[in-house]
Amino acid sequence: FEERLNDPNIAVLDTRSYHAFAAQHIAGAWHLDLNGNFPTFAGWVLPTDKDILLVADDYKKALEALTWAQRVGVDRIVGCLDGGMADWAMKGLETSRFKLISAGDLHDMIAGYTDFVLIDVRAPLEYEDNHIKGAINIPVAELRTRHAELDKEETTVLICSSGNRSSLGASILKQHGFKDVCNVAGGMTGYSKAGYTRECRACVN
């Protein structure tokens, strides 16, 4: 697996939870939570010109990801990481990470003096229904190109409805050299449940 990473025609797809991905992942990996809307985004955002190596919780989960991916035409998955990230870490191999913050953390950042950019990666209809004042709406798939509109040196916080799409967005920004990236756990759903904004009807639907 490590040797294959040196091939420019290889991409890595991590299918674990967004909590696990934020804590530790292989640098440059795409993140699509298998428990999220995996097949839709797999068919939408993954590169079609590269072979794909999987990182999963276990081999059974890797096979499940393979099945869903093939159903949406992603048919270049060629292997998975034996032993998962636990084995990777025990071999002393390099990993990457980014911050996972709570609704309360985000509220404190907004109310305080922290300098950051908030990117709402939901669909435009979700954003129009309810969003945090000052948030920039860039649907997650568009970050593949629109990352160029953002400053890599700024603290960039991503939010969606739950934390899954924003984790994908964080993985895209990390691929493009963004260093200070945060994902809001629970997304707008958690932010509204904490009482900081009204419930987003589109998110609930």
Residue 64 has pLDDT above 80, yes or no: yes
Exposed, middle or buried, 85 (CB in 10 Å: 0-12/13-18/19+)?
Answer: buried
Which pLDDT score is estimated for 60?
96
- Residue 132: C-alpha distances to residues 102, 118, 145 (Å): 15, 9, 23
Distance of CA 7 to the CA centre of its chain: 23
Residue 204 has pLDDT above 70, yes or no: no
Model confidence over 98-133: pLDDT tens digits? Answer: 999 999 999 999 999 889 999 999 999 999 999 999
Model confidence over 26-47: pLDDT tens digits? Answer: 999 999 999 889 999 999 999 9
174-201: buried (b, 16+ CB within 10 Å) or exposed (e) per residue? bbeebeebbbbbbbbbbbbeeebbeebe
Residue 180 has pLDDT above 80, yes or no: yes
Which pLDDT score is estimated for 205?
62
Model confidence over 79-104: pLDDT tens digits? Answer: 999 999 999 999 999 999 999 999 99
Catalytic pick from 80, 160, 182, 200? 160
**Mean pLDDT, rounded, for 160-173:** 97
160 assigned to active site: yes
